[in-house]
Structure 1
Amino acid sequence: MLRRVAALLLLPMFLLMTVQARAAVVDDRGARIALAKPPQRIVTLLPSLTETVCELGACERLVGVDDYSNWPAQVARLPHVGGVDDASIERIVALKPDLVLLSSSSRALQRLESLGVKVMGLDLKTFDDVRRALLRVSQVVGAGDAEAIWKRMNARIDAAAAALPANARGTTVYYEVSGGGYAASASSHVGAVLARLGAVNVVPGELGTVPKLNPEFVVRADPQLVMASRREIDELAARPGWHRIRAIRDKRVCTFAPAEGDVLARPGPRMGEAAEILARCLATPFSAAGRGPGWGQGAAPRRPAP
């Protein structure tokens, strides 16, 4: 009888320990994140993390997001609390989050931890980072099937690659991330998708995921195709020596509308859609005479999938 009573008394403790063990996840800093129950009030400080939470089916648990999060549409109604380098600590704390998901290099991380806020730091730069973030966020949030999402995303990339014409494969590409010569290298998430599509990135991964390049580097690389956002397109041809680059000379330049640029820039669950956008650019027909889509017409604008 006494044993039975003792077992009943200890049962809640065992259940609590089980829940804690199930919720314990190690983030990209090596810090152990242990929660007694799945978080119900979540703040995200990266668009890719916002999209990851929503893709896992936990969008309704978000109580705040960074200033750049705009997909899915419902996050526009949430409080926006700054970005990687200028997050408003006061506003975040006022939201009383159970968990804040943010970059492991964010200035806000240590400050929030010192105030007793649970944080999870994640690095999102490469294609493999996307899978790791999916798995870890799914574990700590206690929602979604990360592996199923990963498989669907990869199937979509494979389908985009399979649909490309044979003559698009092997195209040398320069992908400009933002003004000032920052490029997506072969080791970036964009570089990984380009490789899956059969393209050749002229920026080697050894330079870092998003290196800042001397304009002469691109001139020497002489890519066959340039990809950039629409707001940077006028600047490219004016750079010293760039008129000699094949892509510029033959007008083989793809530009992306802001909504497309968001999909491409974010290493998150919409990488399948990113592959389709890049594939449309690679598949744009060019004649032997060099007639191409011209400036601003390489990738037709399309709204991100809901």
Structure 2
Amino acid sequence: MRALLALLLALPAPAAVEARDDAGQAVKLAAPARRIVSLSPHATELLYEIGAGDRLVGRDGASDYPAAAAKLPAVGLYGAFNVEAIVALKPDLVVAWEGPQAGAATRRLRALGIPVFASQPGDVAAIPATLRALGTLSGQAAEAERRAARFETGWAALERRYRQSTPLSVVPQVGDAPAMTVNDRQFVAAAFRACNTRNPFGAERAAVPLMSVEALAAARPRAIVALATPAVAEGWLARWRTLPGRPALLAVDADTLGRPTSRILAAGEALCLRLDALRGG
């Protein structure tokens, strides 16, 4: 018994870790987190990517990737988190997309002494930083660094590939009834910029400008891209089939282009290839 106790005492204590979140707050843990609750689909995805999936003990109801995430207990959706259910999971770290709707829950968690990391990547450049911060807090810093560096290299290569190509007028569609696009400041616009496209509504002050048949007829885009499932996109795009200039009508997965995760790289590469074909056509 004494020998075992001496051995345990000789082992190095877990080192404290610290990372600054997207709210500018330093999140400090006495040791890398071993029980993590993710309250955002992008955070869930990134934690699995860096090898911290086995440390996840709970998720928000929208976290659906990878498939293993669906097996975790769901503790509500954005704006309706069950704080008692989260506390019952005994997390030593909660990762959340904070905002007016989620703020009440995260304030309660902090008041209970549970560390909360606010993760709100606003652009593609923030994805590697998020990977590194989550890697530090979960004890997966080495794998997180590899993933972050790989993403940075890949995204830079994608932007270089189309930088000298002819700019293409393309409108992303993110909603219907009423039809909506996004301005250039929204995250989903990043992949379209990498493809060297221009959204004629991109300079609008509204985050999600409304579109009409008349406005699109005047803009004469080369393509309209619906961010929706194929079945949903078919309904969205039907109204544009008689537009002057007959723009190409395409559908892409909203999750891969709209979530701030590493999957946006492959999705962006595929989107750029489809749009680049229009330049030749």
- Which band: TM-score by shorter chain? 0.7 to 0.9
Backbone CA RMSD of aligned residues: 3.0
Q: What stretches of structure 2 of length at least 5 have no aligned partner?
A: 1-8
- 1:113 offset after TM fit, Å? 1.6
Cα drift, residue 217 of structure 1: 4.7
Q: Deviations over 1:149-180 (max 9, x none)?
A: 2332244345556777x87x422111122334
The TM-score, its normalising length taken from structure 2, stands at 0.80
Q: What does residue 193 of structure 2 align with?
A: 195
Query: In the alignment, is residue 172 of structure 1 matched against residue 169 of structure 2?
Result: yes
What amino acid sits opposite 1:188 in the alignment? Q
Task: Report the residue type matching 1:198 in the other structure.
Answer: N
CA contact (8 A) 1:57 1:144 kept: no
Distance apart, 1:142 and its partner CA: 2.4
| CA shift in 2, pair 1:275/1:287, >3 Å | closer
Q: Match of 2:188, SS?
A: helix
Tell whether the 8 Å contact from 2:19 to 2:136 is kept in structure 1 after alignment.
Answer: yes
Point out where structure 1 has 5 or more consecutive residues left out of the alignment: 1-11, 289-306
- In structure 1, the residue matched to 2:92 is 98
Q: Percent of counterpart pairs with the same letter?
A: 28
User: What secondary structure is seen at the aligned counterpart in 1 of 2:125?
Assistant: helix
Letter in 1 for 2:223: L
**Among 68, 77, 97, which residue is 1:74 paired with?**
68
What is the aligned partner in structure 2 of residue 5 from structure 1? none
Tell me if the contact between 1:177 and 1:265 (Cα under 8 Å) persists in the aligned partners.
Answer: no
Asked whether the 8 Å contact 1:153–1:270 carries over to 2, the reply is no
**Residue 235 of structure 2 aligns with which residue?**
234
Equivalent AA in structure 1 for residue 210 of structure 2: L
Query: Does the 8 Å CA contact 1:178/1:232 hold for their aligned counterparts?
Result: no
Per the TM alignment, residue 280 of structure 1 is displaced from its structure 2 partner at its CA by 3.7
Q: Is the 8 A contact 1:43 1:64 kept in 2?
A: yes
Q: 2:266 matched to which residue of 1?
A: 273
Contact 2:182 2:202 in 1 (8 A): no
**Number of residue pairs the alignment of both structures matches:** 262
User: Could you tell me how far 1:233 is from its partner in structure 2?
Assistant: 3.3
Aligned pairs (5 A) from 1:88-237:
88-105=82-99, 106-107=102-103, 108-145=105-142, 146-157=144-155, 169-179=166-176, 180-204=178-202, 207=205, 210-215=207-212, 217-228=215-226, 229=228, 230=230, 231-237=232-238
Query: Do the aligned partners of residues 152 and 83 (structure 1) sit closer, same or farther apart at CA in structure 2, a change above 3 Å counting?
Result: same
Q: Is the 8 A contact 1:182 1:213 kept in 2?
A: yes
TM superposition shift of 1:234: 1.8
Contact 1:57–1:143 under 8 Å retained in 2: yes
Asked if structure 2 preserves the Cα contact closer than 8 Å seen for 1:264 and 1:274, the reply is yes
Which segment is superposed worse, 227-236 or 62-71?
227-236
Question: Structure 1 length normalisation: TM-score?
Answer: 0.74
